[in-house]
Chains A and B, each alone.
Chain A
Amino acid sequence: MNEYILTGAVILGVLGAGFGLLMVYGVSEVVYFGIAVTAVAIFGALAYSWWQTKVDKTVETLKVDVLMKIRRDYAETKEFITQAGELTDVAPILRDLELLKEELKKLNLFEVEDQNTEAFKAYTLTRIEKENRKTDQKLRSLEALAAGEYKPRLDEYINNLRGALSKLQAGGYRIQGQIGEFGEVAGLISKSLREMLDKKKKLFEKSVAIIDLCITEAEEICTACTKLGDVASIDDCIPEARANRLEPDKAVRLLVESRRKLTGMLKGTFEEQRTQLVSSLEEVLKLVQGEQVGAEWRAAIEGLLAKALSADDPGQMKELQGLEAQYKSKTFSLISELHGRINKLEEETGKYYDEKVWTPDLEIEGLVKSVSPRDELKSFTAKATEALAHLTQQLEKDAVFLKVIQSYAKVEPLIVKKLEDKGELKAAEFDVKYPDKFLALYSLKHQETTFTDGTLAMKKAPSKEASSLKERLLKKRKVQ
């Protein structure tokens, strides 16, 4: 309608302009004007026709797009509802869906070929979009129906899975973290059918992953048991569990059974090794309490002990063996470090090798060399603890003596003065720590003194008579 009004207005306008030109310029100018208007009209009509055709073509394309969308939406909804059928009865809903399809077919709004029909072409875009909205609404409501049926079944499914995983955990498998993750996904809110289906898929994948973990764990335990006896009867449970990994109930049953048998086989050995390891760690811990050893080493040994004490399942055999290796490695490193420190200290203290002043521990070298992490646990511990006992004791002694040496220069003048004053000095009366060490050191440096029974004193000078006799005897010997 608007097009006609517009055309009419244009015609009147052109005529009016022509008349105006006629009045002003005369006929000749009007002729030129007339030719120009005619040309514009012709080209204008051509352009309009082309544009109109194009618009018509776009509308057709859109109509077909909507038709395809109806088809897709239908197929999708059918797919989801069919999937829901794994857990619940969706036959009635599928029937309704089929009815909807028939209705659409009747309207030539379903098959691909319908786009070529006259009926379809006769539809306006608006009409087709309206049908699309109606269809969409119906599909949504069918989905919602299916979701309503599906939810309780899904909850039951999740609980079953949870139960299966709990059985695995109760059976001794270490899957605490994974069960937590499972729980997080299970706790996610899902309202629509699509969300519920996605949740089910994820939970299934998680449970399969957990089962795979348990299979791996069972295989490791089986390997540990191989040295101890015939595992053939248990061995085939594991491959069977692997073959049925997608069937949680079956796989869980097999895995729980195999673990029970395997850990039963391992129990005695595990207990024995654990006891031995704990005892070894406790022995070493007693020896590293001294200040000289250092808090980090103590903490490291305590950490290993705590882990060993908390290992209470024969299924943790591999971990226990790992702990044993760590214990040996740490203890060996500790021995090496202490030995190194002693060697360094003794570069200084070794200058004062004297029975009363300072002595090295000559056994240390041999003891340290005898320790080897390749030895079996009991033998390793015996040698290591003996070495550690000597090392820690000597380290303490050396560190103390080094302090004495470092303070000696300050203290020596005092010793000299006290000796001059009293002729002797008792260790008990000397206000320093390790007074006997200081006095023994002084005596070592000053040969004119002796340190005996805790007292430093000047050596008695020989009497005149004794010196004279000695001289005569020496002369006599020369003559002879």
Chain B
Amino acid sequence: MEEQPTRWSIIASGEGANRIAFLYYAKFKNPAIGDRVLLLNTTMADMKPEKTFEYTLSKDPNLVETFEKIKREKICIFGKSPSGAGNNWKVGENEAWKDFDSIRRYITNLKIGGRDVIFGICTLGGGTGNGSLPFIIHEMKYGRSIIAGGENSYLAMSIMPYEFEAPQRFFNAICGITRLLKYGEEGKQNADMLLLVDNNEIEKRLEKRDEKTEAKEERYYRINQEIIKAIRMMIAPGGRKSKATIDVSDYYQLPSNIGTYHFTPCLSMGNDPEIIGMETAMETAVSRPMAPIDPKTATMAYVIVVAPSKYVEDGTFSQEGLEQTTQDWAIKSLAGKRGGLLRYASLVSSEDTETLDVMVLLGGFSLGKIIGMSLQKYYDFKESLRVEEGEVELLDASDPMIRVKIGIHDLEVIEKRMKAYIALTEERIRHAQKGELDIKKKMTEWGFGTK
């Protein structure tokens, strides 16, 4: 019986995520996804082309037709707030909770099967996506509604705010990351795999243009295009053309067991296969991760290589070669001296490309830089909040109508969970960096060489 490829659905919540999801869906017809795309927002105002998609549509007027189709069938406006969630993640979460029925109906229309992948996208600085996505994932995994259950996988891609953004957005970001990692009363694992992406880092990868003359919309558009490349590479392997049988569950099951399941994509695309070898492509990719990390603290690496089929057929690139190269590379590049804790490599032979494209998903790295860049602003904002009767009121400076209360205890829980996760991550890194076992001793323990 012919093996069916893994089915994917995309759920994008919030304006920024909507732009990314729409661009991906409109430009790349992927049979693995088909029509299973859902854009969520809390206000229709955000969905008007002149607000959210204007620049994208102006770049390619052919996308207008697709946008009209999406607008009719794939957009869910949830919540009762007339002004949306503003910059409050708690408002976003509350709106999703109150109006979950609307969201549930749209999700049902995606016709998710029992072993699908749900790929959630949100930006971390805002309120809608950051607030709602963790809640939605939790409900789909553990809830009791009709859309809950099954053996689906939940991957979440979340995008860090720009360094110039306001402190509230970094407050939202830390809360959002934590809630995507752990959620609910019991603090269960939420997303099976969290992909962290930082706009600042991506911007560094882009070809330099004159900052004074390049419109910011063009810059954001190019950043989104980079993010989409990572999404495409995620969905590429695991299908019929893959040389190894990596499946989505291979991505997240073991990291979940290890307890650290955050990753960041590192891309190296458009390499000339006659010039650049796999190791160089991998090194190039890792030299430019999409989040601010120290790659030498990464304990996990998933390597996905897409090569032109003629070079696979003539043996220039092979699965065996890739695995050897990955091992050699991992020993030099990952935490410790033995190539980290977890590693997979997959070679995809493609007739649609002339270049060698590589994505390395680095995982389990130290969150020091990410949290470090956010922490000052997190505390700047948190300490400005007025606490009354164990609660703080979160206001949106741009819209006084948007206000919500959050218990101090909830914030403490968020911080506690984040710290616990960080501690586990650091512990795993130390474990990977530990010296080698005394093999002789261990062999004796196992019953060898005893007299």
A-contact bits for B70-91, CB 8 A (1 contact / 0 none): 0000000000000000000000
Q: Of the candidates A403, A406, A414, which one forms a contact with B280 in the assembled complex, judged by CB atoms under 8 Å apart?
A: A414
Assess whether B272 is in contact with A417, with CB atoms less than 8 Å apart: no
A433 to B278, CA, bound (A): 11
Q: A382 near B: Cβ within 8 Å?
A: no
Q: A432 near B: Cβ within 8 Å?
A: yes
In the complex, chain B residues 45-77 whose Cβ is within 8 Å of any chain A Cβ: none
Assess whether B287 is in contact with A432, with CB atoms less than 8 Å apart: no
A388 to B72, CA, bound (A): 64
Assess whether B276 is in contact with A411, with CB atoms less than 8 Å apart: yes
Assess whether A406 is in contact with B272, with CB atoms less than 8 Å apart: yes
* B283: A residues at CB distance < 8 A: 414, 417, 431
Assess whether B277 is in contact with A414, with CB atoms less than 8 Å apart: no
Tell me the nearest residue of chain B to A412, going by C-beta.
B284
* B272: A residues at CB distance < 8 A: 403, 406-407
Assess whether A411 is in contact with B287, with CB atoms less than 8 Å apart: no
Given known A403-B272, A410-B268, contact A432–B284 (CB-CB < 8 A)? no
How many residues of A are counted as interface, with CB atoms below 8 angstroms from the partner's CB atoms?
A: 14
* B275: A residues at CB distance < 8 A: 403-404, 407, 432-434
Tell me the nearest residue of chain B to A417, going by C-beta.
B287
* A431: B residues at CB distance < 8 A: 277-280, 283
* A414: B residues at CB distance < 8 A: 280, 283-284, 287
Assess whether B274 is in contact with A410, with CB atoms less than 8 Å apart: no
Q: Of the candidates A403, A413, A430, which one forms a contact with B284 in the assembled complex, judged by CB atoms under 8 Å apart?
A: A413
In the complex, chain A residues 342-366 whose Cβ is within 8 Å of any chain B Cβ: none
* B288: A residues at CB distance < 8 A: 413
Q: Give the A-B contact count at a CB cut-off of 8 A.
A: 40
B-contact bits for A39-66, CB 8 A (1 contact / 0 none): 0000000000000000000000000000
Given known A407-B272, A410-B268, A410-B271, contact A433–B284 (CB-CB < 8 A)? no
In the complex, chain B residues 253-293 whose Cβ is within 8 Å of any chain A Cβ: 268, 271-272, 274-280, 283-284, 287-288
A413 to B284, CA, bound (A): 8
* A410: B residues at CB distance < 8 A: 268, 271, 276, 284
In the complex, chain A residues 423-456 whose Cβ is within 8 Å of any chain B Cβ: 430-434
A417 to B282, CA, bound (A): 14
* A404: B residues at CB distance < 8 A: 275
Tell me the nearest residue of chain A to B269, going by C-beta.
A410
Assess whether A432 is in contact with B280, with CB atoms less than 8 Å apart: yes
- Central interface residue in A403, A413, A414, A434, by most chain B CB within 10 Å: A414
- Would you list 10 pairs from A and B whose C-beta atoms are within 8 A, ordered by A residue? A403-B275, A406-B272, A410-B268, A410-B284, A411-B280, A417-B283, A431-B278, A431-B279, A431-B280, A433-B274
What is A's interface to B at a CB cutoff of 8 Å? 403-404, 406-407, 410-411, 413-414, 417, 430-434
Q: Which 10 A-B pairs have the closest CB atoms?
A: A431-B277, A431-B279, A431-B280, A407-B275, A433-B275, A403-B275, A432-B280, A407-B272, A413-B287, A414-B283
What is B's interface to A at a CB cutoff of 8 Å? 268, 271-272, 274-280, 283-284, 287-288
Beyond known contacts A407-B271, A431-B277: 8 more, CB 8 A cutoff: A410-B276, A414-B280, A417-B283, A430-B280, A431-B278, A431-B283, A432-B276, A434-B275
